[in-house]
Amino acid sequence: MGNRKILVVDDERDMRIFVSTVVETSGFEAIKAQDGMEAIEKADLDPPALVILDVMMPKIDDGIQTYRRFRTDSKLSRIPIIILSAIARKTFLHSIRLLSPHRGSVLPEPEAYMEKPPDAGELSRLISKLSAAES
Amino acid sequence: MMEKSILLVDDEAGIRKVLSIALSDLGYQVHTAENGLEALRIFEDKRPPIVLTDIKMPEMDGIELLRRLKKISPDTEVIMITGHGDMDLAIKSVKYEATDFVTKPINDEVLEIALNRATERITMRQTLNEYTQNLEQLVQDKTQQLVEAERLAAVGQTVAGLSHAIKNITGGLKGGAFVLEKGIELNDQKYLMQGWEMIRGNVDKITNLSLDLLNYAKATDLNIQACDPRQPAQEVIDLMRPRAQELGIELVSDFSQDLNSCHFDADLICRCLLNLVTNAIDACRNDDPDAPDKKVTVRVKKARGWGVEYQVLDNGCGMNAKTQKRIFQHFFSTKGSEGTGIGLMISKKIIDEHNGVINIESEEGAGSKFFIKLPKVSNG
C-alpha cells in the first residue's frame, strides 16, 4: 500500500466536507486546506498522492497561482492534480497558458478537470484511477 | 414606372400643333394649354411630371406660370421655350428653378436632350426617395431588433444569475445528501452531523433566496409614515450585534441627537440598512484575522437639502473601482456561492422608490462607506 493521503483544497467549508467525504469513503485519507498557502505548506511537509484543487471565482488567481506553484516545485511537480471549478475548462487552460511563458516552459495541463458541483461517483473513480497511476 | 405625360403651354396654335406631334413621337402623352391659367387648371387635374412652356404669353407669362407650378409641386420639371433675345427672361427662369430652356425655332434634338435631362432628374429623385424611405424603415427595424435584443439580454442575465445561485445551492444540497447517506451507510456520527448541517445550511440559503426574490418582485407599496430616523438603524444594530460579537467585530452606533422625524417606510429602510451592515460584517470577516481590530459603524445624521443621511462604514477588505461599478447590478456578488447578488440590488430599489440616493466610497484593503440620503418627504 503506497501513499493514501489526498490533499483537498477549497475555501468553502461545504465543498471541503463533501470532497473529503468522497475521498475518505473511497478509502483514502483527506488532508484539508482552506487556501493555496496552507495547501503548499501541508504538501511540502508531507507530499500527498493526489491534490484536489478548487479554482473558484472570485479568488481564481489564488487557485491558478497555487496550481502553478505545485507544477513548478521540484518536490511537488509530479503529484497529479484534479481541478474542481465553476469556471469553464477552456478559461482555466487559457489562464495557465498565459502564466507559462515567463517560466520558459509550458505548464502541463491538469490530470483531470471537473466542473462544480462534482458528481460523487465520478470523483471517486477519478481518485482511484489517478492515485493508482501514481503508486 | 413613371407615367410619361407632358403639359405643353404656348399661345400660338401652330407651335402647339408641331410640338405635340414631336412629343407624341417621343412617346409622351401630351396635354396642351394656350395660356397660363388654362395650364394651371390642366396641371391640377393631370399632374404631369414635365411642363414645357413658352416664356412670352399674354395675361400670365411663362415665368409666372413657372413660379406657381413650383409652388404647387416643387418636383415638377419645367422646361422654358425662349425666343431670340430673351436671355434676361431665360436667366430669370433659371432663378425660379426651371429645369432647362430651349430656344425657338425648336430643334428636335435639343428638345429631346432637355426632356431626357428632365426625365433623368425625375428618376433620380424617385430612387433617392426610395432609398431614404428604405433607410428610415431599416433604421426602425434595426432599432426594434436592438431594443428586443437588449430586453432579452437583461432577462437572460437575470435568469443566468438566478440559475447560478440555484446551482450553487443545489450543489450544496447534493453534497450534504451524499455526506449524510455515507453517515447512515457507515453509521458514522461525524458524517451524519456534517451532512445534516450542510443540508440545513443550504435549505436556509434557498429560503432566503426565494424570500429575497419575492420581495424584489412584488410591487412595493411604500408604507410611508413619520418616524424617528434613528429607529430603523437601532433595530439593525440590535439584530446584528450578537453576530458581530461572535465574529469579534465591533458594531458602533453614532446617531446625531438633533434629528427631525422623517417620512419613509421604516420596514424597508431597516431592510436596506440590514443588507449594508451584513455586507460590512462580511467584508471585515473575509479579511486577515491578524489585522487590526475590525469595526462597523452605523451613523445617522442631518444632511443639507435632505431629510436624513445614513452611513454604514467598515474597515474591512474594501473593493476596487471595477467592483464598485458593478455592486448594484442584478446578481453580482463578490462572495462566491455565499452570496446571491440580490442584497444591494434590493437596497437600491428601496432607496430609488423613496426618491433617495445610495452611494459608495471604497478603497481596496481600507474599507467601504455606504451613504444613503432620503428626502424630507418620500412620495414614492
Query: For residue B302, what are the domain limits?
Result: 225-374
Q: Is residue B338 part of a domain?
A: yes
Mean pLDDT for B212-233 is 80
Residues B179 and B236 in one domain: no
Residues B166 and B298 in one domain: no
Last residue of a domain, one of B217, B252, B276: B217
CB contacts of A57 in chain B (<8 Å) are 336
pLDDT on residue B282? 85
Name the residue with higher pLDDT: B215 or B318: B318
Q: Is residue B126 part of a domain?
A: no
Q: What is the pLDDT confidence band of residue A103, given thresholds at 50, 70 and 90?
A: low
pLDDT on residue A46? 93
pLDDT on residue A60? 64
Q: Identify the CATH number of the domain in which residue B229 sits.
A: 3.30.565.10
Q: Cβ distance B201 to B239 under 8 Å? A: no
Q: Is residue B24 part of a domain?
A: yes
Q: Is residue B193 part of a domain?
A: yes
CB contacts of B334 in chain A (<8 Å) are 58
Count of the separate structural domains present in chain B: 3
Q: Is the pLDDT of residue B2 over 70?
A: no
Q: Is residue B59 part of a domain?
A: yes
**Average pLDDT of chain B to the nearest whole number:** 86
Q: Is the pLDDT of residue B273 over 80?
A: yes
Q: Is the pLDDT of residue B258 over 60?
A: yes
Mutation target to probe the A interface, by most A beta carbons within 10 A, among B179, B199, B320 is B179
Residues B164 and B284 in one domain: no
CB contacts of B337 in chain A (<8 Å) are 12
Q: Cβ distance A62 to A33 under 8 Å? A: no
pLDDT on residue B252? 93
Lowest mean pLDDT: which of B26-35, B141-150, B157-166, B240-249? B157-166
Q: B81 forms bridges with which residues in the sheet? A: B54, B102
For chain A, what percent of residues have pLDDT higher than 90? 48
Q: Is the pLDDT of residue A15 over 50?
A: yes
pLDDT on residue B340? 65
pLDDT on residue B221? 73
Residues B237 and B256 in one domain: yes
Buried b (16+ CB within 10 A) or exposed e, B263-290: bbbbebbbbbbbbbbbbbbbbbbebeee
pLDDT on residue B372? 94
Q: What is the pLDDT confidence band of residue B331, given thresholds at 50, 70 and 90?
A: low
Task: Name the residue among B171, B191, B194 with its Cβ closest to that of A117.
Answer: B171
Q: Is the pLDDT of residue B350 over 90?
A: no
User: Which residue of chain B is at minimal alpha-carbon distance from A11?
Assistant: B336
Q: Is residue B57 part of a domain?
A: yes
CATH fold group of domain A5-134:
Rossmann fold (3.40.50)
Tell me the pTM: 0.52
Residues B292 and B202 in one domain: no
pLDDT in tens, A59-81: 667 788 889 889 888 899 999 99
Q: Is the pLDDT of residue B81 over 70?
A: yes
Q: Cβ distance A39 to A9 under 8 Å? A: yes
Distance between CA atoms of B59 and B37, rounded to whole angstroms?
Answer: 9
Residues B76 and B190 in one domain: no
Q: B372 forms bridges with which residues in the sheet? A: B310, B358
For chain B, what percent of residues have pLDDT higher than 70? 91
Distance between CA atoms of A127 and A109, rounded to whole angstroms?
Answer: 17
Closest-CA residue to B165 (of B375, B52, B331): B331
Q: Is the pLDDT of residue A115 over 90?
A: no
- Taking one residue from A and the other from B, the number of pairs with CB-CB distance under 8 angstroms is 43
CB contacts of A58 in chain B (<8 Å) are 334, 336
Name the residue with higher pLDDT: B67 or B87: B67
Residues B27 and B62 in one domain: yes
Residues B84 and B53 in one domain: yes
pLDDT on residue A133? 61
Q: Is residue B138 part of a domain?
A: no
CB contacts of A61 in chain B (<8 Å) are none
Question: How far is C-alpha B45 from the chain's CA centre?
Answer: 48
Residues B171 and B71 in one domain: no
Last residue of a domain, one of B48, B82, B106: B106
pLDDT on residue B108? 85
Interface list for chain A against chain B, based on CB atoms closer than 8 Å: 11-12, 14-15, 17-18, 21-22, 25, 56-59, 116-117, 120
Q: Is the pLDDT of residue B286 over 80?
A: no
Closest-CA residue to B264 (of B208, B301, B308): B308
Last residue of a domain, one of B73, B106, B139: B106
Residues B213 and B232 in one domain: no
Residues B50 and B157 in one domain: no
pLDDT on residue A135? 46
**C-beta atoms of A14 and B176 within 8 A:** yes
Q: Is the pLDDT of residue B105 over 80?
A: yes
pLDDT on residue B1? 42
Q: Is residue B62 part of a domain?
A: yes
* ipTM for the complex shown: 0.82
Residues B34 and B91 in one domain: yes
Domain boundaries in chain A? 5-134
**C-beta atoms of A58 and B336 within 8 A:** yes
